[in-house]
Amino acid sequence: MIKLSIFISVFQILPLVIFYGLIILLVYLYLKDKYQNQHSILKTHPVLGRLRYIFEMIGPEFRQYWFLNDKEGKPVDRDTQETIAKAGKYANTVMGFGSKRDFTKTGFYLTNSMFPLNVDELSVDNEPLIQSYQYQILNESITSRKEKRNPAQLKPWYLTEENQITIGKDRKHPFHIKGLIGVSAMSYGALSKSAVKTLAQGVAISGGSYMNTGEGGISPYHLSKVYEVLDTDKELPDNFSEEIVSYVKEHPNCSNFDLKDRFGKGIMFHMDSLVEQGVLKVKSADLIFQVGSGLFGARKDGKYCEETFLDNALKPEVKAIEIKLAQGAKVRGGKLPKEKITPEIASIRGVEMGKDVESPNRFPLFSNMDGLFKWITHWQNITGKPVGIKVVAGDGSSFEELALYMKETGKSPDFISIDGAEGGTGATYQEMADSLGLPIYSGIHILDKTLRTYGVRDKIKIIASGMLSTADKMAIALSLGADLIYVARAAMNTVGCINAAKCHTNLCPVGITSHLPHLEAGVVVQEKKFRTANYLRTMREGLYMLGASCGIDSPSKFGYQHIALREANNNVKKLESFFTTDIEHKVTKLDETENEISKREEVGHDELMKEKELVNN
What's the fold here for domain 83-224+285-566? TIM Barrel (3.20.20)
- Strand ranges in 392-488 using DSSP code E only, listed in sequence order: 415-419, 461-465, 484-487
Instruction: Give tens-digit pLDDT for 96-152.
Output: 898 989 899 999 999 999 999 999 999 999 999 999 999 999 888 888 889 999 999
Identify the pLDDT of residue 123.
97
On whether the CB atoms of residues 514 and 337 are closer than 8 A, the answer is: no
What are the phi and psi torsion angles at 68 (to 5°)? -80, 140
Residue 373's nearest CA partner among 394, 359, 389, 397 is 389
Backbone angles phi, psi at 71, to 5 degrees: -115, 0
Q: What does the pLDDT read at residue 267? A: 93
Secondary structure of the chain: what % helix, strand, coil (to 5)? 45, 15, 40
The candidate with the shortest Cα–Cα distance to 363, out of 293, 299, 295, is 293
Backbone angles phi, psi at 326, to 5 degrees: -160, 165
Q: For residues 159-172, give the mean pLDDT.
A: 96
Backbone angles phi, psi at 122, to 5 degrees: -80, 150
Which residues make Cβ contacts (< 8 Å) with residue 588, sequence separation at least 6? none
How far is 26 from 33, CA to CA, in rounded Å?
10
> Rounded to whole angstroms, how far apart are CA atoms 56 and 513?
23
b (16+ CB within 10 A) / e for 180-206? bbbbbbbbbbbbbbbbbbbbbbbbbbb
Confidence bin at 354 (pLDDT 50/70/90):
confident
Predicted pLDDT of residue 576: 64
**CA–CA distances in Å: residue 462 to residues 62, 324, 414:** 39, 14, 9
pTM: 0.89
For the stretch 202-241, pLDDT in tens is 999 999 999 999 999 999 999 999 999 998 788 888 899 9
- Packing angle, helices 471-480 and 525-549, rounded to 10: 60
